[in-house]
Amino acid sequence: MPAATATSPWYKHLWPWIIIGILTCSVTLSLTMVTIAVKNPDNLVNDNYYEAGKGINRSLERELLAQTLQLHANVQLDDVTGEVNLRLNGNSRPQTLELSLISPTQPEKDRKIVLTRNDSEPGRYVGQLTDKIEGRRFVELLGVENDKTWRLFEEEQINHEQDILLGDEPLQGAEDLKK
């Protein structure tokens, strides 16, 4: 039986280079994905589920207090001057209110505005925004009445042609707390 002889070295053939190319691409893409994952961690994950659950009950109690006080708010955002006008109707008139415009997915777009009561007009609060806000936001309004914090909270689509109405939707998930 004749012995096999090599006609040319391995590196002159096409298939070894194709296999090496596939392995090189795989390693490069894997390292790229690891780099992206390390530089951009997911900040939406909560490790302490028990504390978050307790916070939901506290939040519902604050919303029930707002409902008991019959609170409703109308928020106007002026994109030219950045002024925030809020009209509060109901049985609470704190000196200051805290309005939070929370982005569901991008924490760097969250805005917190402190609104102060206008003494000349009852129920009118004024604050200042630093930049223009548009799009889907969670809108949270916090105030204090008799050392208890109340809360109006809704998801809204913000655009500057339309006012934001808070307290106009029924409270969801508080059926057990009313008893």
Tell me the domains of the chain and their CATH numbers. Answer: 71-166 (2.60.40.10)
pLDDT per position as a tens digit, 39-83: 987 766 556 655 655 555 566 888 888 888 999 999 998 888 889
Q: Is the pLDDT of residue 25 over 90?
A: yes
The pTM for the full model equals 0.66
Structure tokens at 89: 């109707």
Give residue 10's identity as a one-letter amino acid code: W
Residue 100 pLDDT level (bands cut at 50, 70, 90):
very high
- Please state, in angstroms and as integers, the Cα–Cα distance from residue 65 to each residue in 46, 58, 93, 166, 168, following that order: 27, 11, 14, 14, 15
* Contact partners, residue 19, CB within 8 Å, separation at least 6: none
